């Protein structure tokens, strides 16, 4: 029996669509170690679950009359699929079609799946590989980007939006990800810059190395724009699947529960000896976290940027939590501008998506000095206060050692609305560290002493003895309980269970005015 020619034609078109900008350009893409959109979606989604929308759309505009060829799909593959059986909407740009650049038509396709994701309350995943606005499309491509940015902003906090950077993402292709919840980059393959090297070369004549301009190291360690780095495209796509397991599909759902392999009542005796007796000796807060959470569940975000602060998703008794902490072995865990920004954005993401917050505190306070003051530590530090105060998810804090002054207050203190406040016996809750306090309170006495250094040390020791412990603060009601470090896991898990039905609506308002 001869096949219906109309069906044969459809099959040909389908094949053509999968070829994007053609076999030669696909070969070039492969030679760079990069995949096609379809290959990427196969790795991202549960096998056989991807369904494409609008594969036959072609670009509608060509203001400059330059684009010879029209390509099916116009440089982006859009549709829906599943991750661990949960629906997600996706778009994947095709670098083989005009460098994956955004035309008005491409924008229409992306906005369509964004709208569908919102209406269905499911995550939106973008796979970006794009030279930004398509020059041939003129101003229409600019409008196209604005349509995407507006949706990124309006859907923020309603559905999770994740951007996976899989190539040189320039201009608008960098701004849209910056508006999403999480950015994943691939080492040596992803770049984010507002102005690409070609444009810089045209304007200044300068040849710029894309790696140094906006490579993965730049954005994971220096600018703080990206959250996770992967060694390959496959690893980046797997990371996206992994991170989504900690998040709900939308802001009215709870994150998915995974039955824990780790005993929720497990005590961890090693924690009892983890904080050194000498307050000036650092220890690893990362190690503390690993001892407390469900084994192997900690997924740190932005691990290479503002390393004095730690943020990440984990599980406690199978429930997703957001962990915030200081790392006392990096700059003594001081709070500076970058640490403040890092903590603020994470606290707000957790609050959007009903992920309870567990904060481990060991910080000597805000970083003093001209540089930080001039760059706005007041403004940036205020964000942390704002974010914790505003967050209505269950909040639990554990003070492991230093909680001095501003650091005590901003780091999820009881008076910012933290529901359950624990301290370890090593906690030092005070307005200032002992040396600083003694210097200010007893300056005259120290100056007048025969041996000022010895006198300062004696007064500091006295202050430390009286105030650098949790009992003074506990007597004033600042902490709910002082616990042995080894009890932390069962205590925090029990508190989370007691807060599971927390209802704490925010006062009605349009939105607050967070200091940015």
Strand 420-423 relative to strand 395-404, pairing: parallel
Q: How many CB atoms lie within 10 A of CB 392?
A: 13
Q: Which of the following is catalytic: 406, 423, 433, 434?
A: 406
Q: Are strands 76-83 and 86-93 parallel, antiparallel or unpaired?
A: antiparallel
Q: Cα separation of 473 and 239, whole Å?
A: 42
Nearest distance, CB of residue 16 and ligand HXC, angstroms = 17
Q: Which of 148, 170, 285, 311 binds ligand HXC (CB under 6 A)?
A: 170
User: 32 or 51: whose CB is closer to ligand HXC?
Assistant: 32
Q: Which of 29, 101, 250, 421 binds ligand HXC (CB under 6 A)?
A: 101
- Give the interface segment with ligand HXC, choosing from 133-141, 431-439, 467-475, 508-516 (CB under 6 A): 133-141
* Smallest distance, ligand HXC to C-beta of residue 284, A: 40
The answer to whether 168 contacts ligand HXC (rule: CB under 6 A) is: yes
- What is the residue whose two structure tokens read 């993965």? 216
State yes or no: residue 171 binds ligand HXC (CB under 6 A). yes
**Residue 406 a catalytic site member:** yes
Q: Which stretch binds ligand HXC (CB under 6 A): 78-86, 194-202, 259-267, 473-481?
A: 194-202
Residue 99 within binding range of ligand HXC, rule CB under 6 A: yes
Taking CB under 6 A as the binding criterion, the range among 95-103, 352-360, 412-420, 433-441 that sits at the site for ligand HXC is 95-103
* 440/428 Cα distance (integer angstroms): 18
If one counts every other C-beta atom within 10 angstroms of the C-beta of residue 453, the result is 9
CB of 25 to ligand HXC, least distance (A): 6
Residue 171 bears catalytic tag: yes
The minimum distance between CB 108 and ligand HXC, in angstroms, equals 16
Contact present, 34 and 189 (Cβ < 8 Å):
yes
Mark whether 172 is an active-site residue.
Answer: yes
Among residues 42, 187, 198, 455, which is the contact residue for ligand HXC, using CB under 6 A? 198
Region at 333 (left for phi over 0; alpha for psi -120 to 50; beta for the rest): left
Q: Which stretch binds ligand HXC (CB under 6 A): 80-88, 168-176, 253-261, 342-350?
A: 168-176
Instruction: Out of 123, 172, 394, 470, name the contact with ligand HXC by CB under 6 A.
Output: 172
Rounded to whole angstroms, the Cα distance separating 170 from 135 reads: 12
Q: Which region among 167-175, 293-301, 340-348, 487-495 touches ligand HXC (by CB under 6 A)? A: 167-175
* Residue 75 in contact with ligand HXC, rule: CB under 6 A: no
For residue 219, the minimal CB distance to ligand HXC (Å) is 15
- The one catalytic residue in 171, 215, 312, 365 is 171
Q: Where are the beta strands (DSSP E) in 147-260?
A: 161-165, 168-170, 182-186, 191-193, 228-230
- Between 137 and 338, name the residue whose CB sits nearer to ligand HXC: 137
Pick out residues in 18-57 that bind ligand HXC (CB under 6 A).
Answer: 25
Strands lying side by side in the sheet with 124-128: 51-53, 76-83, 86-93, 124-128, 161-165, 182-186, 228-230
Whether residue 229 lies in the annotated active site: no
Which CB atom, from 98 or from 298, has the smaller least distance to ligand HXC? 98
Q: Which of 137, 146, 83, 139 is nearest to 110 (CA)?
A: 146
Instruction: From 289, 298, 294, select the one nearest 263 (Cα to Cα).
Output: 294
Of 98-106, 158-166, 416-424, 465-473: span binding ligand HXC (CB under 6 A): 98-106
- Identify the H or E element spanning 171: none
Torsion-angle region of residue 230: left (phi > 0), alpha (psi -120 to 50) or beta?
A: beta
Instruction: Write out the E strands in 138-278.
Output: 161-165, 168-170, 182-186, 191-193, 228-230
For 353, the token pair is: 């998506």
Q: DSSP code of 170?
A: E
Evaluated on CA atoms 292, 293, 295, 300, the torsion sign reads negative
Nearest distance from C-beta of residue 160 to ligand HXC, angstroms: 23
Adjacent-strand bridge partners of 91: 78, 126
How far is it, in rounded angstroms, from Cα 290 to Cα 287? 5
Decide whether 49 or 61 has the Cβ nearer to ligand HXC.
61
How is residue 69 written in tokens? 């060829």
Structure tokens at 62: 């060509």
Residue 98 binds ligand HXC, judged by CB under 6 A = yes
Binding residue for ligand HXC, selected from 20, 79, 126, 132, defined by CB under 6 A: 132
Q: Does residue 59 interact with ligand HXC by CB under 6 A?
A: no
Comparison of 189 and 342: residue with beta carbon closer to ligand HXC: 189
Residue 84, Cα to own-chain centre: how many angstroms?
21
The binding site for ligand HXC (CB under 6 A) comprises 25, 98-99, 101, 131-136, 142, 145, 168, 170-172, 175, 195-199
What are the catalytic residues? 171-172, 406-407
């Amino acid at each position: 029996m001869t096949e219906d020619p109309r069906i044969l034609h459809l099959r040909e078109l389908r094949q053509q669509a999968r070829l994007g900008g053609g076999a030669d350009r696909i070969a070039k893409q492969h030679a760079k170690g990069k995949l096609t959109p379809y290959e990427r979606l196969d790795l991202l989604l549960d096998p056989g679950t991807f369904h494409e929308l609008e594969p036959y759309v072609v670009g509608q505009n060509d203001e400059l009359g330059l684009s010879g060829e029209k390509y099916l799909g116009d440089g982006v593959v859009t549709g829906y699929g599943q991750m661990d059986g949960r629906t997600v909407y996706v778009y994947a740009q095709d670098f083989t079609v005009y460098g994956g650049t955004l035309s008005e038509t491409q924008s229409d396709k992306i906005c369509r799946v964004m709208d569908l994701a919102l209406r269905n309350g499911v995550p939106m995943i973008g796979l970006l590989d794009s030279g930004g606005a398509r020059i041939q499309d003129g101003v229409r491509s600019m409008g196209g980007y604005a349509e995407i940015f507006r949706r990124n902003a309006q859907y923020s906090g309603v559905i999770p939006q994740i951007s996976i950077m899989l190539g040189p993402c320039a201009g608008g292709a960098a701004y849209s990800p910056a508006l999403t919840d999480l950015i994943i980059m691939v080492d040596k393959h992803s770049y984010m810059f507002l102005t690409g090297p070609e444009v810089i070369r045209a304007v200044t004549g300068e040849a710029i190395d894309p790696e140094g301009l906006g490579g993965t190291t730049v954005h994971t360690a220096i600018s703080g724009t990206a959250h996770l780095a992967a060694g390959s495209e496959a690893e980046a796509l797997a990371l996206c699947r992994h991170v989504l397991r900690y998040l709900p599909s939308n802001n009215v759902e709870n994150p998915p529960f995974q039955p824990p392999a780790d005993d929720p009542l497990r005590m961890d005796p090693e924690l009892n000896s983890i904080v050194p007796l000498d307050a000036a000796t650092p220890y690893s807060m990362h190690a503390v976290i690993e001892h407390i959470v469900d084994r192997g569940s900690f997924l740190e975000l932005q691990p290479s940027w503002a390393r004095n602060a730690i943020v990440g998703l984990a599980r406690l008794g199978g429930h997703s939590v957001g962990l915030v902490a200081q790392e006392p072995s990096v700059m003594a865990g001081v709070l500076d501008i970058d640490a403040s920004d890092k903590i603020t954005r994470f606290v707000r993401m957790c609050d959007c998506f009903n992920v309870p917050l567990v904060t481990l505190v060991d910080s000597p306070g805000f970083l003093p000095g001209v540089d930080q003051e001039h760059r706005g530590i007041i403004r940036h530090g205020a964000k942390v206060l704002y974010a914790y105060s505003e967050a209505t998810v269950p909040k639990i804090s554990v003070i492991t050692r230093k909680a001095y002054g501003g650091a005590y207050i901003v780091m999820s203190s009881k008076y910012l609305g933290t529901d359950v406040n624990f301290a370890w016996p090593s906690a030092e809750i005070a307005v200032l560290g002992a040396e600083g306090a003694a210097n200010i309170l007893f300056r005259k006495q120290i100056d007048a002493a025969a041996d000022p250094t010895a006198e300062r040390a004696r007064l500091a020791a006295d202050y430390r003895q009286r105030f650098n412990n949790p009992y003074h603060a506990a007597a004033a009601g600042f902490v709910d309980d002082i616990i042995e470090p080894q009890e932390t896991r069962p205590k925090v898990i029990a508190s989370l269970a007691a807060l599971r039905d927390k209802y704490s609506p925010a006062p009605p308002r349009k939105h607050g005015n967070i200091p940015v």
